[in-house]
Amino acid sequence: MIRKQPWFPIAYMFCVTAFFSSIVIGLTRLTSERVEANEQLAFERAVLSVLPGMDVDKMARSEIHKTFTESVNAPDASSNGAYIARQNGQITAYALPISGQGFWAPIKGVIGIETDKKTITGIAFYEQNETPGLGAEITQAPFRNQFEGKVMASEDEPINIRRPGATLGESEVHAVTGATQTSNRLEIIINTALRQWRHPNSEKGDGDSR
Amino acid sequence: MKLTGSENKKLMIEGLWNNNPVFKQVLGICSTLAVTNLVLNTMVMCMALVFTLSLSAATVSILRNLTPHNIRMMVETLIIAFYVIIVDVLLKAYWPEMSGNLGPYVGLIITNCIVMGRCEAYGNTNPPGKAFMDGLFNALGYSFVLLIVATFRELFGMGTFLGLAMPYFSGPYWDKWIIMVMPPGAFFMLGIVVWVFRSIQAVREEKSS
């Protein structure tokens, strides 16, 4: 009987593995385009939501992609790594990608900056894994809306995140209650990106610029 | 072999109550702690487990007469991984936000001891229909305990249920319990749930004996 053969377990394992793996591989192939599109779309949605005059929440998937390709240009030499929003050829705003280590996992987001290169138009995150209900509140409107209209301070710390309840200056926002770690790390992420954006040459080779 | 109603009922009582995977067998505790801070996340996690557990138990059972005994655990792990990857890929493609929320925990269903435990203890020796029902009811037994834990954690910790603000708990009189949102909150909640259910079980056993 074939089941009694010494090689049967090996052949059996091989066949079972081949069978199940091919289904999984097939399924991954089928969905890989969609998975990539989802990641791209999350980024495009974040960029659009920090630009003035865009109502991303009401846009459908296809509409987001269309608006992004029409009105946002990839970074060029003059924008120091920021995406450029244009309307009728005129620059309307910059969208600067930011990223760094959060409390649990990397945080990736975008900051919108006006053409005066000082005023913030908004902030959005497209990748984070902070604690739901605490650190993850940085993705919610109450925290994000604080950034609108803030003006970067000219010193080393363009934006300050202060403890909840503190009186705020024009470059300061409140931290999330109960999420000190996330807030502190986010402050570092934002300021590193903004400093580098304003002085791209002076910080080259600096340990901070990772 | 056809499933009779009384057999089904027996499997249901075993999986949901008498032999509940969480508070009786105390299996799958790691995911209980990780994904129960929001009810919605928990629901999706439970659905993923229901799908994985019932289908892998059935598949193990279909192959049970063919699989050589000495490599059966390898085959079981492979089958479980197969179903979990399907769930993971589908979530990534069609519900990317949820996939991000659950992070690595969907993939970790593969190592959830309940799945392996049911395949070994039941799927290996019973026909596919029964194995499927056994897996289904065990997964549901896990789900209802998790949903209880999640409901209290979200309510006490955030004052919401399924993201909707609840009266009183979201108001100014309720000081939100931050510990409930953090993993230790799940430890306390789970301890209380196990305690309550085991006490009920103990009282019933005393009465019936």
The string of pLDDT tens digits covering residues A3-31 is 788 899 999 999 999 999 999 999 999 99
Name the average pLDDT for chain B.
88
Q: Indicate the range of A126-135, A198-207, B55-64, B92-101 predicted with least confidence.
A: A198-207
Q: Which of A80, A98, A84 is nearest to A51 (CA)?
A: A84
ipTM tops the 0.85 cut: no
Q: A149: which 2 tokens?
A: 């209209």
B2 is a domain residue: no
Q: Is residue B139 part of a domain?
A: yes
Distance (Å) from the C-alpha of residue B164 to the closest C-alpha of chain A? 13
Distance CA A75, CA A85 (A): 10
Q: Burial level of A92, CB count in 10 A (0-12/13-18/19+)?
A: middle
Count of structural domains within chain B: 1
Under 8 Å between Cβ of B21 and B49: no
Task: Search chain A and give the residue with CA nearest B79.
Answer: A20
The answer to pTM > 0.90 is no
Q: Which of the two residues, B158 and A151, has the higher pLDDT score?
A: A151
Q: Pick A35's closest partner by Cβ from B67, B82, B92.
A: B92
Distance CA B191, CA B179 (A): 15
User: What's the domain range around B174?
Assistant: 8-208
Which three-class secondary structure state does DSSP give residue A83? strand
- List the single range of A115-124, A134-143, A193-202 with lowest mean pLDDT: A193-202
> Looking at residue A208, what is its pLDDT?
44
Distance from CA of B66 to the nearest CA of A (A): 8
Interchain contact A140–B (C-beta under 8 A): no
Most A CBs within 10 A among B36, B45, B75, B179, hence the mutation to make, goes to B75
Q: What tokens were used for B40? A: 């919605």
What is the rounded distance in angstroms from the CA atom of residue A136 to the CA atom of residue A134? 5
Query: What are the residue boundaries of the structural domains of chain A, listed by start?
Result: 73-205
| Closest approach of B35 to chain A, Cα-based (Å) | 10
Contact B103 A127 (CB under 8 A): no
Structural domain includes residue B22 = yes
Domain membership of residue B3 (yes or no) is: no
Whether residue B73 lies inside any domain: the answer is: yes
A132·B90 Cβ contact <8 A: no
Tell whether A38 is within 8 A of chain B (Cβ).
yes
Q: Does the pLDDT value for residue A207 go beyond 60?
A: no
Mean pLDDT of chain A: 87
Which residues in chain A have their CB less than 8 angstroms from residue B94's CB? Answer: 34
Look at A147 and A59; give whichever has higher pLDDT.
Answer: A147
In a domain, B76, yes or no: yes
Which pLDDT belongs to residue B46? Answer: 93
Find residue A151's DSSP bridge partners: A119
pLDDT of residue B1 exceeding 60, the answer is: no
Identify the closest residue of chain A to B81 by CA–CA distance.
A20
Residue A99: is its pLDDT beyond 90?
yes
What average pLDDT does range B23-34 have in this prediction? Answer: 79
